[in-house]
Chain A
Amino acid sequence: MMKTNRYVLSILVDDEPGVLSRIAGLFSGRGFNIDSLSVASTAEPNVSRITMVTKCEPQIIEQIKKQLHKLINVITVNDLTDKKYVQRQLALIKVNAQPDKKAEILRIVDIFRCKIVDVGLAHYTIEVSGDTEKHDAIISLLKPMGIIEIASTGAIALARENGK
């Protein structure tokens, strides 16, 4: 087995019905895997940005990029992996909040600069925004308290400075 890497692709596409299924179909049909995917409109009309994270071998990422580019509705494929970029992911974590644990949870929330967005008799819902490492770290700290549910977005990313 070759070593697999994590790649972050920022893809601009025509905002047309079916674009997402073209991309999803390309990945399933060719046996590529998608780690996470996030789609939303951009400042430009009729153009959407897809941020995709995929883990694969180095020579596969070349095929993935070329195959994506070949889709008629794909405008640009920007591989951010080796560039300077900022990346965020948003998660909502509902965690058990027994009276004796509340203080500790609040301390973790504080250290990670998260927010409590919902409070119940026996739970907190925490909003986390950051990169994947931050998410992994807070989840591992909250786990002992008993995580009830997590909802998370895929990663979104933009190149730093003026580079597109």
Chain B
Amino acid sequence: MSSVNIRKPLSFKTAQTEPRLSGSGGEFLLQVRHLRTIFQTEQGSLPAVDDVSFNVRRGETLGVVGESGCGKSVTGLSILRLVGPPGKIVQGEVLFQETNLRELSRSEMRKVRGRQIAMIFQEPMSALDPLMKIGVQMIEGMQEHLGYVRKSAWKQGVELLQRMGLPQAAACMNAYPHQLSGGMCQRVLIAMALACQPQLLIADEPATALDVRTQARILDLLRELKSEQSLTMLMISHDFGVIADVADWVAVMYAGQVVEYGPAEQIFYRPSHPYTQRLLASVAGIYSHVKQEYLPVVEGTVPDMGELPSGCRFHPRCPEAEADCRKIHPELFQIGEEGASHWVRCLKRENVRVKPHAE
């Protein structure tokens, strides 16, 4: 086993050459406003991300949860403008340090990607180039963005892999992806994302292929970067344990939209939207130590993006649905007391609403 001290802070040389975006950033590092991304298919245009808005403060973590296929990955990819055809961002703003990323040129965007905003992709083994050595893929970013020479980038790469808990990190740098296990590939991707010391990290299921012990090591590292270097994160995960561990805020998505959004404790302890409530019941079932015949699930199936239900998109599955729910599409409204910062998209919670979101 490696004897690397995982608590040692990451040592980076500060690069002087980094391209600074205009504006110092203000309170929010990332503001996503009314983002809409569609896929043109034979069935028509599918709104994979439909009017999504949220803000992330510098140094905070927003956890994104929601049913498979609800648009979490596409949201992350849209922020970085990595959605390829037939997908297209058709509406909305992505403000990073008050610069609208949608207005940057391709080359400006390339400088932001990897350097200031990094992403850990879902499905680690497919995200790596099978024909290139791990090390060569790792140092690419450091050479391009930080101007490192090959040797020091390589050394930095080994150090990063060691901190991810990879045994024999130096040898891993010389291996090809197929020679590593699924969890090892995932850790390589995390190391690559952190290599250029980004300010914002979009992590799409970063710890699914890891055992609890390794996962805790990664979470501790992220927590440390968060407190020491104000690393800001968008954490997409199905693992409510991971979300509970790192997220300050949680956004719950359903069928391309944010249906509930608020501080983590609010969402975990006082969920308001019927979908969130059922999702958490299912979480409680799986985490319970008592073996059950049948685990609770959110009944019904996810709607196909091509044929979304009228009115509230959750109505065919919602036990609280009423006639209005089939006709009126609810807005995302703030509920509770002023300043509670809890938003819900549900007609039956409107009695407690305060004001619409993102105004």
* Interaction A to B: no
> Contact residues of A with B, CB < 8 Å?
none
> Contact residues of B with A, CB < 8 Å?
none
